[in-house]
């Protein structure tokens, strides 16, 4: 297929972009092309404002901010859970904004992993993000089980992707729980969540998903598909800021189940301040909160979710797919002779929000990109992740990124760097 590699064509795509106006909502630095929104999203002006609003309520009201002010803190986690629900296809009461990705995973596994007899194994995959694996290993040890024996990590045939058929084959009668990413963090492969959920449930197995690399870029239908639970960070595609408070989903069929890790903010809101030593959990996903909400790390999400309400996750996904397709076409046309390979799936229904570009010199190429104004992301051993984010990246930026890569390779600009990651890749 012929590919128009001209800058004029990229400009024409920007002229047709129905989300173009959202770019002005973000702090986009001049002379910089930010292609790392799949690691940390940019700050929006509305997120900044909502953070300052909550900070002001602390300044003006002190402890009164729990029940007064523009955004009373006491109910904010539930209110933001309701506003997050459309991103994942959930009912409003099935989502709560709380904790961090890993603490939420610990909470959910402590709740839903109940080994009985020979049904005592957990299925994960060998390409998952390390923190998830650490948490699963920890939970098995707390049950007195050996992770080497009881954590089954489905192998990848190529180091890039995990085959759904292999995952399903691993769902034996010894498995109690399956925990998988929605999107693999290196390659950007989008798993078939609906199929995997159906297959797990056929076998009497509970299943949960890590949505860190999909929520805010890809619409899901967790409730409709019957997903038992999910958890995700909000600082990538949802732009909640570094270390911003995460979120979790629990299907309503599990309401009334006591959380594995109880804490006072998981209490029913009406009885929480009775200070009883008998835990009375909330009747919805709010029960899975543990400690007092981190208000200053939650506040930016107020403004961020306003933008998603206006843009809609469906339009975000449409542009994301088109922009990653355009980037892949340019890479195939302009960079094919330099030893690059695209590691993410080609099909739209199997691709997340970033392009996985592979090269043996990936680390030093990333350093060169940064020095010339493009912010990429390196993942060992050989991956350059590039994420054209729908709300703030342009098609011209995609074009310029590929042209810079071509120049770096043509002029061998990467050779002056060591081919090893910095402290933070």
Domains 7-31+313-416 and 49-310 share a fold: no
**375, pLDDT greater than 80:** yes
Two tokens, residue 417: 């760097």
pTM of the model: 0.96
Cα separations (Å) of 31 from 130, 319, 348, 373, 375?
Answer: 34, 23, 31, 6, 11
- State how far the Cα of 106 lies from the Cα of 69, in Å rounded to an integer: 33
Predicted confidence band at 128 (pLDDT cuts at 50, 70, 90)? very high
Please answer whether residues 308 and 389 qualify as being in contact, where contact means their C-beta atoms are separated by less than 8 angstroms.
no
Q: Give the number of other CB atoms < 10 A from CB of residue 403.
A: 15
What is the pLDDT averaged over residues 76-94? 98
SS3 of residue 374 by DSSP = strand
**2, pLDDT greater than 90:** no
Segments making up each domain of the chain, as ranges: 7-31+313-416, 49-310
List residues bridging with 367 in a β-sheet: none
The residues near 97 (Cβ < 8 Å, ≥ 6 apart) are 76, 77, 80, 81, 84, 234, 245, 246, 247, 293, 298, 301
pLDDT attached to residue 1: 58
Please answer whether residues 43 and 25 qualify as being in contact, where contact means their C-beta atoms are separated by less than 8 angstroms.
no
Average pLDDT for the chain: 97
Q: DSSP assignment of 292-316, as one string?
A: ---HHHHHHHHHHHHHHHHH-HHHH
Q: Enumerate the known binding-site residues.
A: 101-102, 129-132, 210, 213, 235, 264, 292
Closest CA to 369 of 353, 385, 390, 352: 385
Q: Give the number of other CB atoms < 10 A from CB of residue 163.
A: 16
Residues 45-83 have pLDDT tens digits of 999 999 999 999 999 999 999 999 999 999 999 999 999
pLDDT attached to residue 364: 97
Please answer whether residues 150 and 121 qualify as being in contact, where contact means their C-beta atoms are separated by less than 8 angstroms.
yes
Residues 293-321 have pLDDT tens digits of 999 999 999 999 999 999 999 999 999 99
CATH tag, 49-310: 3.40.640.10
Q: Enumerate the known binding-site residues for pyridoxal 5'-phosphate.
A: 101-102, 129-132, 210, 213, 235, 264, 292
What is the pLDDT averaged over residues 24-40? 97
DSSP state of 386: E
Closest CA to 251 of 270, 219, 225, 271: 225
- Range 7-31+313-416 has CATH code 3.40.720.10: no
Q: Give the number of other CB atoms < 10 A from CB of residue 187.
A: 27
**422, pLDDT greater than 90:** no
Q: Is the dihedral of CA 67, 287, 95, 211 positive or negative?
A: positive
């Amino acid at each position: 297929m012929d590919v128009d590699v001209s800058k004029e064509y990229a400009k024409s795509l920007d002229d047709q972009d129905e989300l173009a106006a959202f770019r002005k909502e973000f702090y986009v630095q001049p002379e910089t092309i930010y292609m790392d929104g799949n690691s940390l999203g940019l700050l929006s002006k509305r997120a900044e404002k909502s953070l300052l609003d909550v900070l002001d309520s602390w300044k003006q009201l002190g402890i009164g901010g729990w029940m007064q002010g523009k955004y009373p803190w006491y109910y904010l986690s539930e209110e933001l859970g309701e506003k997050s629900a459309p991103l994942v296809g959930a009912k409003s009461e099935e989502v709560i904004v709380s904790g961090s990705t890993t603490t939420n995973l610990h909470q959910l596994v402590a709740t839903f992993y109940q080994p009985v007899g020979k049904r005592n194994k957990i299925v994960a995959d060998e390409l998952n993000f390390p923190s998830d694996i650490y948490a699963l290993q920890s939970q098995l040890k707390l049950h007195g089980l050996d992770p080497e024996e009881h954590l089954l990590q489905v192998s990848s045939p190529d180091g890039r992707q995990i085959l759904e058929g292999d995952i399903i084959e691993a769902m034996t009668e010894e498995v109690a729980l399956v925990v998988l990413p929605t999107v693999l963090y290196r390659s950007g492969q989008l798993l078939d969540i609906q199929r995997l959920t159906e297959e797990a449930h056929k076998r009497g197995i509970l299943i949960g998903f890590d949505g860190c690399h999909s929520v805010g870029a890809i619409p899901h239908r967790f409730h409709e598909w019957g997903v038992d639970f999910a958890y995700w960070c909000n600082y990538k595609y949802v732009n909640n800021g570094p270390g911003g408070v995460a979120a979790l989903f629990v299907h309503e069929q599990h309401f009334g189940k006591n959380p594995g890790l109880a804490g006072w903010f998981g209490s029913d809101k009406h009885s929480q301040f009775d200070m009883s030593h008998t835990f009375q959990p909330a009747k919805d996903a709010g029960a899975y909160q543990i400690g007092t909400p981190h208000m200053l790390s939650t506040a930016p999400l107020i403004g961020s979710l306003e933008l998603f309400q206006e843009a809609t996750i469906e339009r975000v996904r449409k542009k994301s797919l088109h922009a990653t397709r355009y980037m892949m076409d340019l890479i195939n046309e302009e960079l094919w002779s330099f030893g690059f390979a695209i590691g993410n799936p080609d099909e739209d229904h199997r691709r997340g929000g970033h392009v996985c570009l592979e090269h043996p010199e990936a680390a030093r190429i990333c350093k060169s990109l940064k020095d010339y104004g493009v912010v990429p992301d390196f993942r060992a051993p050989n991956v350059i992740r590039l994420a054209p984010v729908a709300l703030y990246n342009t098609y011209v930026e995609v074009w310029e990124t590929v042209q810079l890569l071509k120049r770096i390779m043509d002029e061998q600009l990467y050779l002056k760097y060591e081919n090893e990651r910095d402290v933070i890749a």
